[in-house]
Amino acid sequence: MINIVIFGAPGAGKGTQAKLLAEKYDFLHISTGDLLRQEVAAGTPLGQRAQAIMNRGDLVGDDIVVALLARALANRSTLPNPDASIDPWDRERKGEPHRPEGCIIDGFPRTVQQAQTLEFLFGKLQRKIDCVVAIDVPRDELVHRIHERAAISGRADDTEEVIRHRIELYDLQTQPVLDYYRVSGLLVTVDGSGEIAETNTRICQTLERLMKL
C-alpha cells in the first residue's frame, strides 16, 4: 500500500503523470485542482468562492482545499454512504467494490503548512506518505506548455498574465515545500523535460527502484 505526492510547477505535467501512474499501479488519483473545478462546475457555494480566486491564479485558501481533500480521502467516492469509522483503504469488506491499494495526490501541498496538514490527514487514517516525486522542467518549457494547453482548453486560468503569476507564486511559496520533503528524506526529483512517455518511464523506474512495486 503506497501513498505518493506528485509535485511540480504549473505545466510540469503533474496531472498527466498522476493519471498514468494511477492506471499503471492501481492508485486512487486525487487532484485538488479537479476537485475545485468540479465544485465550480456544479455551482456550489464553495465553488463560487473558489472560482474568482482560481481565475486570478492565486492559491485557493487552505480551508477550502483541505475540506475537499479530507472528504476525498475519507469517502474515496466509491460508496454512496461510507462508514467513516471503517478504514477507507480496506478492500476486504464483503460486498464492497474494489478499491486501490494506495493513492497519488497532485496539486497539494503547495505550502509547508499544507504539507503538515496532509501528514495530519493521513495520520488520522493511520497512513503515511511514502514518496514525493518532483517533476523538474525548465521554465521556458513550462511557459510553452501552458500556452499550448490554453490554446486547446480555453481555460480562464491559463492567460498570459495568470501563467506568469502562477509561476511566481510557485517560486515564492511552493519551492520551500521541496526543502521540507528533502529534509524528511521523502523527495525524489525526476527530469520532466521532453515527451510525456519519457517522463513517465523515468518516474516508473524511480518508483519501482525505491518502493519495490
SS (H, E, C) 60-100: CCHHHHHHHHHHHHHHCCCCCCCCCCCCCCCCCCCCCCCCC
* Domain extent listing, the chain: 3-92+100-211
Question: Is the pLDDT reported for residue 22 higher than 50?
Answer: yes
CATH of 3-92+100-211, one of 3.40.718.10, 3.40.50.720, 3.40.50.300, 3.20.20.70: 3.40.50.300
Question: Is the pLDDT reported for residue 115 higher than 90?
Answer: yes
Q: Using CA atoms, how far apart are residues 8 and 14, in angstroms rounded to an integer?
A: 6
Amino acid 52: pLDDT: 83
Question: Is the pLDDT reported for residue 146 higher than 80?
Answer: yes
Q: Using CA atoms, how far apart are residues 19 and 106, in angstroms rounded to an integer?
A: 10
Amino acid 158: pLDDT: 61
- pLDDT-derived band at 161 (thresholds 50, 70, 90) equals confident
Mean pLDDT (the chain, rounded): 81
- pLDDT-derived band at 93 (thresholds 50, 70, 90) equals very low
Amino acid 87: pLDDT: 46
Q: Say if residues 211 and 131 touch (Cβ distance below 8 Å).
A: yes
Question: Is the pLDDT reported for residue 126 higher than 90?
Answer: no
Amino acid 92: pLDDT: 42
The overall pTM is greater than 0.75: yes
Question: Is the pLDDT reported for residue 184 higher than 70?
Answer: yes
Amino acid 48: pLDDT: 87
- pLDDT-derived band at 148 (thresholds 50, 70, 90) equals confident
Question: Is the pLDDT reported for residue 140 higher than 50?
Answer: yes
